[in-house]
Amino acid sequence: MNLELYFAPGACSFVPHVALEAIKAATGQAFEPKLVKLHKSEHHTPEYLAMNPNGQVPVLVVDGKPLTQIVAICDFLDRSFPKAGLLPTDPWARAQALSQLAWMNNTAHPTFTRVFRASEFAESEAAQAEVKKIAAAKYRTLLERIQEWSAPAKPFWFGDRITCHDAYAFTLLRWGGMAAVDPKSLPGYLAYVERVTAAAPVAVVLERERIKLDTYKAT
Ligand SMILES: N[C@@H](CCC(=O)N[C@@H](CS)C(=O)NCC(=O)O)C(=O)O
C-alpha cells in the first residue's frame, strides 16, 4: 500500500502521524510524510483543495486516493493494519473507543479552535476576547474529562501500545498551554502524557515536527 500523510507541525495531524509511525514499527509498512506550511497557505492551493475541500490537515493519501477526517483515518488504519492494535477488537469496546475519539475531534478540538482563532467567531476585539475567555474556561473542563478517562492508562490509553487516543490526548494537553492551562495543574494527565512523549513512535514524530509538549507560559 502506498501511503502519504499531509501534516502540519503541532496540528491535529499529529494523531495519524503517530499512528503511522506505530504501524511502521509494528508491521514495517512505510509512509511518506508531506509537510504542509499553513503559514504559507499551502492548504489553500487548488491542488490541495482538490484533495481536501475543507483546506485542512490531515489528509491521508492511500494509493493516490485522499481520505480526510481523523476518526475515519484512524478507523481505516486500524482495519488495514490490525497488528498495530490502534483500536480494540471487541465491538462494544471499539464503539466506546470511537466515541471518545469522536468527542476529542468534535468537542474538545473545536473548543480550542475558539481560543486559538477567535477572529473566526467574532468581529470586534472585545467580542473576540470574550469568545477566547469563555472557550478557554470550557476547554479546561474538557481537559479534566480527558484526565479522568486517562487515569487507568497503564502505561498508555489501551495498555502497552501507542494509539491515536494517546496522540490526541498529547495534542490536546499541548494546546492547553496555549489556552493558559498549566499542564502541572492536571498532574494525572501530565504524568500520562509524559509517558506518551517518551514512547518511540511519538518521539520520532516530535523530532520530525520539531515540537515539544510544554507550550505554557506563566503570566
Ligand atoms: N475534523 C477535522 C479537523 C481538522 C482541523 O481542524 N485541522 C486544522 C489543524 S488542527 C487545520 O488544518 N487548520 C487550518 C485551517 O483551518 O486553515 C479532522 O478530523 O480532520
CATH number reported for the structural domain that contains residue 60 in this entry? 3.40.30.10
Residue 217 lies in a domain: no
Question: Nearest residue CA, atom 2 of ligand 1?
Answer: 69
Question: Nearest residue CA, atom 3 of ligand 1?
Answer: 69
Is the domain of 101 the same as that of 166?
yes
C-alpha cell at 18: 503517530
In degrees and rounded to multiples of 5, residue 6 shows phi and psi of -90, 120
Does the pLDDT of residue 219 top 80, yes or no? no
pLDDT at 59: 98
pLDDT at 178: 94
Residue positions counted in the chain: 219
Does the pLDDT of residue 8 top 90, yes or no? yes
Is the domain of 145 the same as that of 172?
yes
pLDDT at 95: 98
What confidence tier does 189 reach under pLDDT thresholds 50, 70, 90?
very high
What is the reported pTM? 0.97
Residue 209 lies in a domain: no
Does the pLDDT of residue 127 top 80, yes or no? yes
Q: Quick check: bond before 66 cis, omega within 30?
A: no
Interval 150-173 mean pLDDT: 96
Beta bridge partners of 66: 61
Q: What is the pLDDT of residues 17-48, one digit of tens each?
A: 999 999 999 999 999 999 999 999 999 999 99
What confidence tier does 217 reach under pLDDT thresholds 50, 70, 90?
confident
Residue 171 lies in a domain: yes
Of the residues 55, 84, 113, the one at which a domain ends: 84
Residue 218 lies in a domain: no
Q: Could you tell which of 49, 57, 98 is best to mutate to test the pocket of ligand 1, judged by most ligand atoms within 8 Å of the CB?
A: 57
Is the domain of 100 the same as that of 190?
yes
DSSP 150-164: HTT-SSBTTBSS--H
Instruction: Say if residues 205 and 49 touch (Cβ distance below 8 Å).
Output: no
Residue 33 domain boundaries: 3-84
Is the domain of 54 the same as that of 110?
no
Q: Is the Cβ atom of 163 under 6 angstroms away from ligand 1?
A: no
Q: Is the Cβ atom of 105 under 6 angstroms away from ligand 1?
A: yes
Is the domain of 80 the same as that of 104?
no
Does the pLDDT of residue 159 top 90, yes or no? yes
Is the domain of 76 the same as that of 132?
no
Is the domain of 65 the same as that of 47?
yes
How many domains does the chain fold into?
2
Distance 110 CA to ligand 1 centre (A): 9
Residue 101 lies in a domain: yes
C-alpha cell at 138: 470550557
Residue 208 lies in a domain: no
